[in-house]
Amino acid sequence: MRLFNKVAIVGVGLIGGSIALDIKRKRLANKIIGVSRHRETLSLAYKRKVIDEGSQQIEVVRDADLLILATPVNTILNLAPRIAQNIRRDCIVTDVGSTKEEIVLKLERKFRLFVGSHPLAGSEKRGVVNARPGLFKDSLCILTPTKHTNAKALKKMESLWRQMGAKIFFLKPSVHDRVLSYVSHLPHVVAFSLMKAIPKEFLRFASPSLKGTTRIAASDIELWSDIFLSNSKNINKAIQALEEQLLKIKSAIYKKDRQRLVEVLKAAKSKRELLI
């Protein structure tokens, strides 16, 4: 089902590239143009048939009827004014950023038909080299409409994500950021902190459990700095909530209070079992 004519993707990385591959495989658009600062990214994306055409010039977005912003948050905000001068009036604009409140507020001022999206399908891997069709199948995608969101544009974005196999949720940008600070940003803070806390000379004894717990500490630093800084208040609250739980466990251990310790661990375990 063709939903768009020409799709422009700014930032052809893991997410941007995987969207492109799905759009092609499912024939959801006639043409895909990739925009990147890096010539090598574009030529790799072209060789792997991720995009039909690549350019380092933002002006190529001119004829697109869908524009997908898939660079880190900061880059999106920097590019927005120039993009806004170049797109068609009826071009739907979306992003795939991991925080929403700030970016939705700013981008819906710039773009008439803006719809915020957040596909929860990233990993510690990055780059078009890791892009693959089917990345979004059975993953979650949160759309963050506001009172300014155009209903038709929202509907079209919903169709696009559904065609790629994602399960759609709708959340207000502020609610999105609060939820994500717990289910995604806090685990990253924890993984980074845990790696940092472990003495280097102990790493040769790393068990599978340590590796699993810290896999995401290998994530992209610039991307995650952006995320942490653009959702600072929520993340700091989430860190505090974690610290409270650490304190509970620490104090039960310190007091050798087995009953209390079992109680806390049980509550955690039964919650974890809800996640399959």
Interaction between residue 272 and a copy of itself (CB under 8 A)? yes
Classify 247 in phi/psi space as left (phi over 0), alpha (psi -120 to 50) or beta. alpha
Exposed e or buried b for every residue in 230-247, given b needs 16+ CB within 10 A? Answer: bbeebbeebbeebeeeee
Establish if 186 lies at the interface with a copy of itself (CB under 8 A): yes
Nearest to 64 by CA among 152, 149, 2, 5: 5
Nearer to a copy of itself, 85 or 251 (CB): 251
Q: Residue 222: which residues within 8 A CB-CB, separation 6 or more?
A: 72
Site for a copy of itself in 213-252 (CB under 8 A): 213-219, 221-222, 224-225, 228-229, 232, 235-236, 238-239, 241-246, 248-250
* 274 interacts with a copy of itself by CB under 8 A: yes
Which candidate, 226, 240, 236, places its Cα nearest to that of 72? 226
Contact stretch for a copy of itself (CB under 8 A) within 33-41, 56-64, 82-90, 206-214: 206-214
For the chain, what is the radius of gyration of the CA atoms?
Answer: 21
Taking the complex as a whole, the smallest distance from the CB of residue 264 to a copy of itself amounts, in Å, to 7
Residue selected from 120, 126, 127, 150 as contacting a copy of itself according to rule CB under 8 A: 120
Interface with a copy of itself (CB under 8 A), residue from 75, 86, 150, 193: 193
Locate tokens 């209903």: which residue?
151
- Nearest approach, Cβ of residue 62 and a copy of itself (Å): 33
Residues of span 73-112 touching a copy of itself by CB under 8 A: none
Q: Which is nearer to a copy of itself, 58 or 175 (CB)?
A: 175
